Amino acid sequence: MYTTMFISTFLGVLWGKTILLIPPVTSPTTSVQAPTAVEPPSQEEEEYIIIDSYMSEVTAYASTVEETDETPFLAASGKHVYWGMVASNAHPFGTQLRFPELYPDIIFVVGDRMNKRYSSRFDIWFPKTDQTKQFGLKNTRVEIIREKKYKDIALK
């Protein structure tokens, strides 16, 4: 420690400069604690609130004139159909929902309507007709949800 300081001071004098070196302070009995990391949010905590949960019939449809109308890729909401869009006559456009028994990681959004005779059924959009036939008719749990807002989290 002192040898390093002496050599550095000597070199500083040689070049006509004054160098102030503070030797490192090390002690075998003292150790610096690393800062503790903030724990990330639990992966199990949901990012939404379940407003309602009930059993319902769920079917599937694809963008064909036979299954829809003359504009098969245009939903009743005016939006282009996409994976995650559902048709429902019981909920307003934009309602978010889940089918936890079928697709636990996907949040669906109501963006289309069905024939009036289906007042409480959901119809999931699929890109291909063979997928809709494979899906068939299912009776499953539906969760109507909304995303958590800051105030919801603060109230915990």
The torsion angles phi and psi of 100, rounded to 5 degrees, stand at -60, -30
Nearest to 140 by CA among 109, 110, 105, 104: 104
**Does the domain formed by 48-154 have CATH 3.40.50.720?**
no
Token representation of residue 99: 């089918």
Percent helix, strand, coil in the chain, to 5, is 15, 30, 55
Q: How far apart are CA 12 and CA 151, in angstroms?
A: 61
Pairing of the two strands 103-112 and 85-88: parallel
Residue 123 confidence (pLDDT): 96
- Whether the pLDDT of residue 12 is over 90: the answer is no
Helices (H), the chain: 2-14, 129-135, 150-154
Q: How far apart are CA 111 and CA 86, in angstroms?
A: 6
| pLDDT digit string, tens, across residues 96-152 | 999 999 999 999 999 999 989 998 999 999 999 999 999 999 999 999 999 877 555
Q: Is this prediction's pTM over 0.75?
A: no
